[in-house]
């Protein structure tokens, strides 16, 4: 029987856990032109970033070394790997000056006072954890990715600000780096006893548990590129992750909210502190909310503003975000809250102080997203395809001149293509692109047309010497896909990608380029450690989601011509599903069992949870008598044999495996 794959924490977090193996050959130097480009700042950008640096340093209380380990002693977060960023020396030739300064600011870590009554621990994870002092205890905002890092952050707060109970947790949005560490600050028993409120935007649990499940394997693989998880830390490798330095690799947990914010704007008193929540759905996350603390004159904008341009479409893959709504909700926050705010803090990066500065910052971040949206739609309506739109759109100096608007996570180029995709999809309207050959077959034809691999590589080497790296990467990619074992082609494309990485202002683009170069030279590296999955997400996952995931893993050609009906009965609590395989498609219906099934599977939900979390095997629990299969057992196993196990290490810069 083909091994079945049940959902675990899946790709929401798999990308968080990649770490770099030793580099065998090592990357190369920046070429003279790359070194020259990286030595100066873009013309639109002032060299004076004192305010940005002042904000990043302001309020630091304590900055102990961060070396956090899991219960097995494996590193979860280790800032000592980034010691190369501590030097005051000018940036290296392999890192653009803008990115180098941003990475050095992200290298700051520790406990910070935002204002009296509001504290943040930054640098323990990619996101920030915020502690707001209430009447009887602490209110925690966004408890990081991992139990281990959240617990360490709470302990740091306790050492310097006093021990008080956590009385509430606020999840600002559904991305795992903002809730996965919740069991590091509170327990189930405290929540069940009513000692802790857990507050989230409407629809949070659905999005937090289900997000990325269907396409999770592909997202996980691509996220390894996006965050540079397989790259060595250093000036020739991963220097930053954009929204933070790195993401922890500890244990992810989950506790359901006890209450949700349901009104567009809603006020709550939490442990004596007045909160005004603003829901901002379909912006940086499907469900997200900002909040204002009117008595403290403090504003939290979650992840809808940051110290750099964010992603309208994350390169790891996700649903396209709505740039128009993003700008509109920032504008609403300006009108509602900016004039009554003396400090603004977010769930990444550093706060900003002063009402005038806050208003200017929000205004320019609002206009950043609206400019990209509006100008893309303008050119789109003039008939320009996405690549042309992306090449033509540059930010005006009033926006490009701000450090917090630079391509320090997302990029203008990628976001323009995201806007186009949101409205018109991937097809640019040119019928030549309506039904193109798949990449590997097209590559063979291109190489043949160009006179063979040797001819392509000969011309590409000349272009490489001239610094035409974008073209070399594109042209030689055809040779790599046509002849994946061609070592000369792989090395030449790696050289081009490497120089593109060294020149990229965006750490995400840098990580993609350098990850591709590394993989071309050294292979995929399938032995990399991964995130420690906890069982919380599985326990809270709706069973409908499990069957949806099984459906997208059904091998249609293998299942063709088969018709199999299986009933699934879960106990404690009881749930029933009728599952049907027909026409190469898997359907399920809750509460509608087949009258005459081929087989019936009966198991407790806790056994399912253990199997899904890979703490047990289906076969092992069946042999132990914890799972019953009634009826025609072979028909059940025939259905299960039609389920594919996704390859978590498919090729990206080389062809993915073929069936």
Residue 9 has what pLDDT? Answer: 36
Token readout for 450 is 């160009």
Give, in degrees to the nearest 5, the angle at Cα 244 between 242 and 245.
95
**Cβ–Cβ under 8 Å, residues 359 and 334:** yes
Q: Which pLDDT belongs to residue 4?
A: 38
**pLDDT over 60 at 20, yes or no:** no
Looking at the DSSP assignment, which residues form a beta bridge with residue 604? 571
What is the structure's pLDDT at 536? 81
State mean pLDDT over 13-38: 66
pLDDT at 636: 96
Report pLDDT digits (tens) over 567-585. Answer: 999 998 899 999 999 999 9
Residue 658 pLDDT exceeds 60: no
User: What are the pLDDT digits (tens) for 279-297?
Assistant: 999 999 999 999 999 999 9
Distance CA 376, CA 369 (A): 11
CATH number assigned to the domain with residue range 554-640, chosen from the 4 options 3.30.1050.10, 3.30.70.140, 3.30.70.1090, 3.40.190.10: 3.30.1050.10
- 486-496 pLDDT per residue, tens: 999 999 999 99
Residue indicated by tokens 């991963």:
238
Partners of 107 in the β-ladder? none
Please say if the pLDDT value at position 376 is more than 90. yes
The total of other beta-carbon atoms located within 10 Å of residue 118's CB is 23
Residues 6+ apart with CB under 8 A from 428: 385, 386, 387
pLDDT band with cut points at 50, 70 and 90 for residue 255? very high
Buried b (16+ CB within 10 A) or exposed e, 181-194: bbbbbbeeeebeee
At 426 the pLDDT is: 94
Max Cα distance, the chain (Å): 76
Evaluate the CA torsion angle 607, 608, 613, 615 in order and state its sign: positive
Report whether pLDDT(509) > 50: yes
What lies within 8 Å, CB to CB, of 380 at 6+ separation is 389, 419, 420, 423, 424
Q: Flag whether pLDDT at 526 surpasses 90.
A: no
pLDDT at 625 over 90: yes
| CA–centroid distance for 632 within its chain | 43
Average pLDDT over residues 18-33: 66
pLDDT at 452 over 90: yes
pLDDT of residue 510 exceeding 90, the answer is: yes
Res. 13 pLDDT band, cuts 50 70 90: very low
For residues 18 and 106, the model is more confident at 106
pLDDT (0 to 100) of residue 529: 53
pLDDT at 256 over 70: yes
What mean pLDDT is predicted for residues 613-633?
93
Please state whether beta strands 110-115 and 75-78 pair in parallel, antiparallel, or not at all (unpaired): unpaired
| Mean per-residue pLDDT, 17-31 | 61
Confidence band for 298, pLDDT divided at 50, 70 and 90: very high
Burial 79-106 (b: 16+ CB within 10 A, else e): bebbebbeeeeebbbbbbbbbbbbbbbb
Boundaries of every domain in the chain: 11-18+50-418, 433-522, 554-640
pLDDT in tens, 454-468: 999 999 999 999 999
Q: Is 364:406 a contact under the CB 8 Å cutoff? A: no
Q: Is the pLDDT of residue 552 over 70?
A: yes
Query: Which helix (H) or strand (E) element contains residue 419?
Result: helix 412-424
Q: Is the dihedral of CA 218, 537, 286, 346 positive or negative?
A: negative
Closest to 268 measured CA to CA, from 170, 162, 345, 415: 170
Tens digit of pLDDT for each residue in 168-224? 999 999 999 999 999 999 999 999 999 999 999 999 998 988 777 888 889 889 999
Q: Which two tokens stand for residue 189?
A: 């028993």
The per-residue pLDDT for range 318-374, each reduced to its tens digit, is 999 999 999 999 999 999 999 999 999 999 999 999 999 999 999 999 999 999 999
d(CA 506, CA 311): 11
Q: Which two tokens stand for residue 357?
A: 């500065």
Higher pLDDT, residue 72 or 501: 501
Answer whether residue 533 shows pLDDT above 80. no
Local structure of residue 554 (DSSP, 8 states): B
What is the pLDDT at residue 71? 87
- Per-residue confidence at 614, pLDDT binned at 50, 70, 90? confident
Percent of the chain with pLDDT over 90: 84
Query: How confident is the model over 266-274, as a mean pLDDT?
Result: 98
How many residues belong to the chain?
Answer: 659
What is the reported pLDDT for 213? 80
In whole numbers, what is the pLDDT of the chain averaged over residues?
Answer: 92
pLDDT attached to residue 151: 98
Does 3 have pLDDT greater than 60? no
pLDDT of residue 25: 63
Check residue 540 and give its pLDDT: 82
Q: pLDDT confidence of 23, banded at 50, 70, 90? A: very low
Q: Put the strands of the sheet holding 60-62 in their side by side order.
A: 60-62, 110-115, 118-122, 129-133, 138-141, 166-170, 197-201, 259-261
The CATH superfamily of 433-522 is Alkyl sulfatase, dimerisation domain (1.25.40.880)
Q: Report d(CA 628, CA 650) in Å as an integer.
A: 35
Sheet arrangement for strand 265-270: 265-270, 273-279, 289-293, 298-300, 343-345, 352-353
∠ CA 378-283-8, nearest 5°, is 130
pLDDT for 607 equals 95
What percent of the chain stands above pLDDT 70? 94
Q: What is the pLDDT of residue 469?
A: 98
CB–CB of 171/204 below 8 Å?
yes
Q: Can you name the CATH fold of 11-18+50-418?
A: Metallo-beta-lactamase; Chain A (3.60.15)
| Phi and psi at residue 182, to the nearest 5° | -55, -35
Using one digit for the tens of pLDDT, what is the confidence trace for 85-126?
A: 987 778 999 999 999 999 999 999 999 999 999 999 999 999
DSSP, res 288: B
pLDDT at 644 (0 to 100): 93
């Amino acid at each position: 029987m083909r091994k079945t794959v049940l959902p675990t924490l899946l790709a929401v977090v798999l990308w968080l856990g990649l770490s770099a193996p030793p580099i065998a050959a090592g990357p190369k130097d920046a070429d003279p032109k790359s070194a020259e480009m990286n030595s100066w700042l873009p013309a639109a950008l002032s060299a004076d970033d004192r305010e940005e640096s002042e904000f990043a340093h302001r309020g630091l209380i304590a900055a102990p070394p961060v070396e956090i380990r899991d219960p097995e002693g494996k590193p979860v977060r280790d800032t000592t790997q980034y010691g190369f960023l501590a030097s005051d020396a000018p940036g290296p030739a392999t890192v653009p000056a803008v990115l180098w300064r941003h990475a050095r600011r992200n290298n700051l870590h520790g406990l910070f006072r935002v204002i009296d009554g509001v504290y943040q621990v930054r640098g323990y994870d990619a996101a920030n954890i915020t502690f707001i002092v209430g009447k009887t205890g602490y209110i925690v905002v966004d408890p990081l990715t991992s139990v281990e890092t959240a617990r360490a952050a709470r302990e740091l707060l306790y050492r310097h600000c006093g021990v008080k109970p956590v009385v509430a947790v606020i999840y600002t949005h559904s991305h795992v780096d903002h809730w996965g560490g919740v069991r590091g600050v509170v327990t189930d028993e405290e929540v069940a006893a009513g000692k802790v409120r857990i507050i989230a935007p409407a629809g949070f649990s659905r999005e937090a548990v289900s997000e990325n499940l269907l396409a999770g394997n592909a997202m996980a693989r691509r996220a390894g590129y996006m965050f540079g998880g397989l790259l060595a830390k250093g000036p020739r490798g991963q220097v930053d992750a954009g929204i933070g330095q790195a993401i922890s690799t500890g244990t992810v947990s989950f506790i359901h909210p006890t209450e949700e914010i349901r009104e567009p704007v809603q006020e709550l008193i939490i442990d004596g502190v007045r909160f005004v929540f603003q829901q901002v759905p379909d912006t940086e996350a499907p469900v997200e909310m900002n909040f204002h603390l009117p008595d403290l004159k403090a504003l939290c904008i979650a992840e809808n503003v940051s110290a750099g341009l964010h992603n309208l479409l994350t390169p790891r893959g996700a649903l396209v975000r709505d740039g128009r709504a993003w700008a509109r909700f920032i504008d609403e926050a300006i009108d509602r809250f900016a004039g009554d705010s003396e400090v603004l803090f977010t769930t990444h990066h550093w706060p900003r102080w002063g009402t005038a500065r806050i208003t200017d910052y929000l205004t320019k971040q609002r206009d950043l997203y609206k400019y990209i949206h509006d100008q893309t739609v303008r050119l789109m309506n003039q008939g320009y395809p996405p690549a042309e739109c992306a090449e033509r759109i540059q930010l005006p100096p009033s926006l490009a001149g701000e450090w917090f608007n630079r391509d320090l996570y997302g990029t203008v180029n990628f976001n323009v293509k995201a806007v186009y995709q949101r409205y018109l999809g991937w097809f640019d309207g040119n019928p030549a692109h309506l039904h193109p050959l798949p990449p590997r077959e097209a590559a063979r034809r291109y190489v043949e047309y160009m006179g063979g691999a040797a001819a392509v590589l000969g011309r590409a080497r000349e272009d490489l010497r001239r610094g035409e790296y974008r073209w070399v990467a594109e042209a030689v990619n055809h040779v790599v896909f046509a002849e994946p074992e061609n070592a000369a082609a792989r090395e030449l494309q790696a050289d081009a990608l490497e120089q593109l990485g060294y020149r990229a202002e965006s750490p995400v683009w840098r990580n993609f380029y350098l990850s591709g170069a590394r993989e071309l030279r050294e292979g995929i590296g399938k032995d990399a450690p991964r995130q420690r999955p906890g069982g919380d997400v599985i326990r809270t996952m709706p069973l409908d989601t499990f069957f949806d995931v099984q459906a997208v893993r059904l091998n249609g050609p293998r299942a063709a011509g088969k018709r199999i009906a299986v009933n699934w009965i879960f106990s404690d609590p009881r749930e029933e599903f009728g599952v049907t395989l027909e026409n190469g498609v898997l359907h399920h219906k809750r509460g509608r069992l087949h009258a005459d099934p081929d087989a019936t599977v009966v198991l407790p939900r806790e056994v399912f949870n253990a199997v899904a979390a890979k703490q047990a095997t289906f076969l092992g629990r069946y042999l132990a008598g914890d799972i019953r299969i009634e009826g025609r057992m072979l028909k059940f196993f025939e259905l299960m044999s039609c389920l594919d196990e996704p390859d978590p290490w498919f090729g990206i810069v080389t062809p993915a495996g073929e069936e």
